[in-house]
Amino acid sequence: MALSWETALVGLVVMVLSEVWRQSSSGPARDAPLAQATAVALAMATAWPFPRGHPDHLVGMLGPLVVAAAAVLLVAAWRRRIPSARRELMRLGTSVVVAGLLVRIPGPGGETLLRSVWHERETTVVIAVLLLLVAVLAAAAPLVWRGVRASVRSRTMAWATLSGEFERQGPVSLAGASTAVVMALALRELGPLSLVLFLVPLLVLQPAVTRQRDIRRAQRQTIFALARLPEEAGLAMSGHAARVAELAVPIARDLGVEAADLRDVEAAALLHDIGQVGLSRPVPGGATVELSARDQREIASTGSSILGRTAELSRLASVVADVGLAHHRADERGDVALASRIVRVASAYDDLTGRGTRPGGGSAPLEALERLLRSTPHEYDPEVVRVLVHQLERRGSLSAAQAEWLSR
């Protein structure tokens, strides 16, 4: 189908309104896929101009691409945010190119998916499924690109950042992809009207998703505020909880913890020292690694009792309670969560390298790891310590030679 001026104009208006709504929203709603669904639908079902009468020629992608770029630039110019439009241009452009290429690849019989959409008398299940696959790949392409870039910048494993991107944006992107398929198929029967009609479900869905994300963000802010209580009271080193969380989450990823469970690992790491608020005498420098096993268990038990009284955080009570448990005792029990063992190792390492462990400051990373290894496996899980060594090597805190020596 040729991308007529009427279809192009309706598509432009829909994407402009979607972009205005997206940029007017706060927080997570800024990733709304309304414009993306429209752009992918146009790329899968239209071509403009027809080069030499062949609508499935690759140049046919220029029409949907131009419409998408025009929508982003118009909104950016109106809001005077031209430099910030680059990210959205990359996102829409990547989706349009991926969708446009895939529907123009000839199949086993030489027919492209684009021609099948318009030449079949009845839309078959196979065509619909293939279009859905194309739309999903087009919606996923920007997430993959963003995840790989984040992985390179943070020097973390690509699959870890990709899983985070898909967990955060996957459901909404999938809704956008399925809507794009319905819009593309409906263009044959309803024309440009379908671009407006089938965006209604996304408009209804998006505020609900945004509210859910806002609730999660508020819960996360509450956890960070609680984590700072021992620090504000002078009972723990400044930034200790945040540093432990920054270590614990990538360690958990490397040990195979599911992406959905990483939030609990982070929350447990942030709140593992909250039991110090119940101490009658502060721990010197807040370094629990220097305490006796009995005192460590008492702090963990107090923190567990505090969390157990809150509905949303009660699930972390047992994890925090077991942070104070030495590895040999955890091994005897056999039911201690991996998150507890990870937080215990990360906390001990930060205590040893932090300023509060001795008058002259903390130990060097190599010295701290040597001390942890001397207490392994009695106090600490050897597998967690091994992954910690690899994490520190990846971050540049250890040289490859030092990491190899420690791993012997």
Specify which residues 47 forms β-bridges with. Answer: 2
CA dihedral 223, 227, 233, 237 (to 10 degrees): -160
pLDDT in tens, 140-171: 888 887 777 766 665 656 666 666 667 667 77
Is the model's pLDDT at 362 over the cut of 70? no
Helix or strand or coil: residue 2? strand
To the nearest whole number, what is the mean pLDDT of the chain?
Answer: 79
CA of 287: how far to CAs of 249, 251, 340, 348, 362, in Å?
Answer: 21, 21, 17, 8, 11
Is the model's pLDDT at 51 over the cut of 70? no
In this prediction, residue 303 has a pLDDT band, given cuts at 50, 70 and 90, of confident
pTM for this model (two decimals):
0.59
Domain ranges of the chain: 5-214, 228-406
Query: What mean pLDDT do residues 348-363 have?
Result: 65
- Cβ–Cβ under 8 Å, residues 177 and 138: yes
The domain 228-406 is placed in CATH, from the list 1.10.260.40, 2.60.120.10, 2.70.40.10, 1.10.3210.10, at 1.10.3210.10
Is the model's pLDDT at 26 over the cut of 60? no
